[in-house]
Chain A
Amino acid sequence: MSRKPFVREVSKTGWYFKHARYMRYMSREITCIFIGAFALLMLCALGRLSEGQAAYDSFLAAIEGPWSALGLLIVLIFAVHNTTSWFNVTPKAMPVQIGEEFLPGKYIVAAHYAVWIVVSLAVLFFAGAV
């Protein structure tokens, strides 16, 4: 070991503030908090549903209001961020080779966005929201 080892000062808890690229990485990673919280909300809804109409209706009444709407809007923003960041790396995650050539990534990404729009509209239609 050299007598003056170079020690790079890196904060364990705040390193991602150093660079916009690290911030983008962290913004993508923390989407999991919102996906997980929403899964627990759905689990809660399912639990109340299994207890009967009175329990379920009180659940629906409990989530109605400006604050839960604001919370769900934030969840929605992070859910969309998860979607776009997930789709944008699909050409790296599963490249499509045709003969010698690779299919340009933009087609793979575009196909995912197209399916996403169709699936979302189908769910909205099925749920009676449109």
Chain B
Amino acid sequence: MAKSNKPIVWSLFAAGGTLAAFLAPVLVMLFLLAALGHAPSLLHYSQLHAFAAHWFGKLFLLTVIALFLWHAAHRLRVTLHDFGLRADASVAVVVYVVAAAGTLFSVLYMLRI
């Protein structure tokens, strides 16, 4: 059987899509409230810092950011092909490197909190 990384990236895509389906609209709404000048109390520094300092908060934020990124990366790869960009190998490297870097940075930020 040919070796392929497809099951890994596809499962990250599916997991991220499901998580985004349930959580993305409400999380965007929290930021939208902040943009309107009515930041919910969770987005205030003290509360968000306390949330991110707890192990559950860390796990939640890391899971959300990383899976959203891997979901977007895989779908963007396929979508760029649909838009007529046929350099799949290069596209795959770029989108997955961005997703991996984002995952790494969210871990690093988390360790500093």
Contact = CB atoms under 8 A, between A and B. Distances in A.
- Whether A and B are associated in the same complex: the answer reads yes
B34 A64 contact: yes
A7 B3 CA distance: 35
Interface residues of A, number: 52
A113 B29 CA distance: 17
Interface residues of B, number: 54
B7 interface: no
B82 A42 contact: no
Contacts, number: 159
B42 A33 contact: no
Contacts of A64: 34-37
Contacts of A65: 35
B35 A69 contact: yes
Interface string B26-47: 1111111111110111110101
Interface of B: 16-18, 20-37, 39-43, 45, 47-49, 52, 61, 64-65, 68-69, 71-73, 75-76, 78-79, 82-84, 86, 102, 105-106, 109-110, 112-113
Interface of A: 11-13, 16, 26, 29-33, 35-36, 38-43, 46-47, 49-50, 53, 56-57, 60, 63-65, 68-69, 72-73, 75-76, 79-80, 82-83, 86-87, 112, 115-116, 119-120, 123-124, 126-129
